[in-house]
Homo-oligomer: A and B are copies of this chain.
Amino acid sequence: MSTEPLVIFTPSGKRGHFPAGTPILTAARQLGVDLDSVCGGRGICSKCQITPSFGEFSKHGVTVQEDAISEWNSVEQRYKDKRGLIDGRRLGCQATVQGDIVIDVPPESQVHRQVVRKAASDRTITMDPATHLYYVEVDEPDMHEPTGDLERLERALQEQWEIGSITADLKILTRLQTVLRKGKWAATVALHKSHKDEAHKVVEIWSGMTEDRIYGLAIDLGSTTIAAHLCDLRNGEVKASTGVMNPQIRFGEDLMSRVSYAMMNPGGDQEMTNAVRTAINGLTEAIATEAGIRPFQILETVFVCNPVMHHLLLGIDPVELGQAPFALATSESLALNARDLDLNVMNENAQVYILPCIAGHVGADAAAVALSEEPDKSEDLVLVVDVGTNAEILLGNKERVLACSSPTGPAFEGAQISSGQRAAPGAIERIEINPETKEPRFRVIGSDIWSDEDGFDAVIATTGITGICGSGIIEAVAEMRIAGLLDPKGLIGSAEQTGTSRSIPEGRTHSYVIHDGSAEGGPVITVTQGDIRAIQLAKSALYAGARLLMDEMGVDTVDRVVLAGAFGAHISTKHAMVLGMIPDAPLDKVTSAGNAAGTGARIALSNLGARVEIERIVREITKVETAIEPKFQEHFVNANAIPHATDPFPELAKITTLPDVSFNTGGSGGGDQGGRRRRRRG
């Protein structure tokens, strides 16, 4: 047995014998313990803080004496006097091993700190970002061996950090000499190492150690909203999350109307490009303020977006995406400088990574969902549906992954619904209809109390009851079907047929009254026959897309379903199944993944390997274009019934029995009006 002191690190449990006098940081490195250091062991950065533990550790079989760690040396003492250290903490690069000892590495001293996702699954993101900070001390220039400042910086990085060759663009070169001299030849360098390049790129340099934190943005650039997470690039921690409306909405609510705007108005594409870039600059400013950081500390940004937003962000006219064959200018991932996109609030040298697009209708956002939900690693066959104005659909397992998009339209988001509204306080989000009395009860956003419970009126006093949001309309239609107010073809029965006065005539069709607020000057909230048709169109498109992938895969059922998208998080899976939005599956196998695209963006921001992975996955995905598949129309028509005209729903039958009603009195009902309406992408 070694007579050298035993060093045990927690929480990793790694242990080894080291000669007395070995710095804790050195021992950690030799054992592969994850202990951070930016200054390279100079006692400057304090990133390597550790907590020595003393006493008897029967679990580890050691007793740690008070003198098992060295006295404070002058460097360590100076750091503590100047900057302060939490009691019990020591600098791992200065404190040395003197006897058997147990060393705890606190989470903030771990570089590859694993970040637990807050979403449903427990998958963790290992930090391996493209951009890192390095503190270096650079040789002063020497007339006898003349080299440039950049070349001496490169040599310092090689010698002190084992970094290979570096590159620096003009923006860095013009500042380099001043920064190095101001820092007395010490500097903190941010290096970006792409997975595509050999060289490290200098993206920022600061004198001495004036900065020790850098950040990244993960941006989900949607047609309606732009959502961003600001992450600490050292440990992946989300410092702030925020979103803004996409200002392009003023050029058109959905994507197709924006493409039309570009086609009809010369320079219109550039207008929209400017609008979205300006919005991202504003968002950057806002999120930095919220997190209390300075925008120039943001050195990386990852974008995920659908193909039209992708082109408009890049300044490419999206006109080709509005017509067959829906050709992208480029489908590969892109690496750019922030300033190439006029993103001048974040650091102008910030590196931008845009995930690859899967096809002309299946964008980088769908790629991000694939990265987050990993259908390619699934043992069982999983259907992943990102529900939005366009639904992106992935179907696959370890063997093979298929993808398509389907033009669901905005009905699921409450748009084009008579009483529809965006998800906001006052919107009805949950509904139940008593199958006996046909009376509804509901809940509105901003309240946990149902409308038939005490205190409901008080709670909604300020917001009122203003409309129905996307998840609310799905529940309403499904509940109407369960309660026998709606037949399988989607016809609302009359008061006579249904036995409730809440069914009121409206032209030649009927509407169902959920809430009459007219007495208090509020709206009358109904579900009209037109609303039902809009929902039928949307859900038929979604189902038909999924069914097309199942055809291609040669299956009739899937093992599980994942609903992604912010909206997906709020959908009642049971009601979605009653509607026939998604193929039949055991209810406990239908789960929500939250904003999976945003999570995918964060993963790509935090881990370089994930970029390699998603680029490979996207190349291997089989793309199915719904617009040209003859069977799509057939699937679409069959899916118009609720839940479906021909496909059996055995799992749904286990949990609910849908009444066998029919309200078609011949010629009355506009039963086909939906089929005649033009479906548009958007």
Contact = CB atoms under 8 A, between A and B. Distances in A.
Contact of A330 (B148, B320, B336, B628): B148
Given A170-B336, A336-B170, A340-B170, A177 B320 contact: yes
A84 interface: no
A267 to B, nearest CB: 13
Nearest to A357: B148
Contacts of A358: 146
A330 to B, nearest CB: 4
A680 B331 CA distance: 58
Contact of A146 (B145, B148, B317, B331): B331
Contacts of A168: 330
A350 to B, nearest CB: 15
A327 B170 contact: no
Contacts of A314: 170, 173-174
Contacts of A623: 145-146
A457 to B, nearest CB: 54
A325 B174 contact: no
Given A173-B314, A314-B170, A315-B170, A146 B359 contact: yes
A149 interface: yes
B625 A148 contact: no
Interface in A52-94: none
A138 to B, nearest CB: 11
Interface in A609-638: 623, 625, 627-628
A317 B174 CA distance: 7
Contacts of A145: 623
Interface in A306-354: 314-317, 320, 324-332, 336, 340-341
B628 A143 contact: yes
- Range, interface on chain A: 35 or more
A556 interface: no
A325 B360 contact: no
A615 to B, nearest CB: 12
A149 B326 contact: no
A465 B455 CA distance: 109
A146 B330 contact: no
Identical copies of this chain, number: 2
A314 B325 CA distance: 45
Given A141-B327, A146-B326, A146-B360, A173 B316 contact: yes
A148 B331 contact: yes
A173 B310 CA distance: 12
Nearest to A152: B327
A538 to B, nearest CB: 23
Interface string A169-192: 110011011100000000000000
A16 to B, nearest CB: 42
Contacts of A143: 324-326, 360, 625, 627-628
A173 to B, nearest CB: 5
B173 A328 contact: no
B627 A146 contact: no
Contacts of A628: 143-144
A151 interface: yes
A329 B174 CA distance: 8
A150 interface: yes
A328 B627 contact: no
Contacts of A317: 174, 177-178
Contacts of A520: none
A447 interface: no
B625 A149 contact: no
A328 B148 contact: yes
Interface string A500-515: 0000000000000000
A242 interface: no
Nearest to A626: B143
A147 interface: yes
A142 interface: yes
B146 A328 contact: yes
Contacts of A336: 170
A396 B658 CA distance: 96
Nearest to A326: B143
B327 A149 contact: yes
A191 to B, nearest CB: 16
Given A174-B315, A315-B170, A144 B327 contact: no
Contacts of A627: 143
A567 B177 CA distance: 34
A150 B314 CA distance: 14
A628 B324 CA distance: 72
A585 to B, nearest CB: 29
B340 A149 contact: no
Interface string A108-149: 000000000000000000000000000000001111111111
A167 to B, nearest CB: 9
Contact of A327 (B148, B173, B315, B327): B148
A627 B146 CA distance: 13
Given A141-B325, A143-B628, A332 B151 contact: yes
B329 A150 contact: yes
A145 B173 CA distance: 44
Which of A144, A151, A173, A330 has the most chain B CB atoms inside 10 A of its CB?
A: A330
A164 to B, nearest CB: 14
Contacts of A340: 169-170
14 contacts: A141-B360, A143-B360, A144-B625, A144-B628, A146-B326, A146-B358, A146-B359, A146-B623, A148-B357, A149-B327, A150-B330, A151-B330, A151-B332, A170-B315
Interface of A: 140-151, 168-170, 173-174, 176-178, 314-317, 320, 324-332, 336, 340-341, 357-360, 623, 625, 627-628
Given A148-B332, A173-B316, A173-B329, 11 more contacts: A141-B360, A143-B625, A146-B625, A147-B331, A148-B327, A150-B331, A151-B331, A170-B314, A170-B340, A177-B316, A177-B317
By Cβ-Cβ distance, the 3 closest A-B pairs, closest first, are: A141-B327, A146-B359, A148-B331
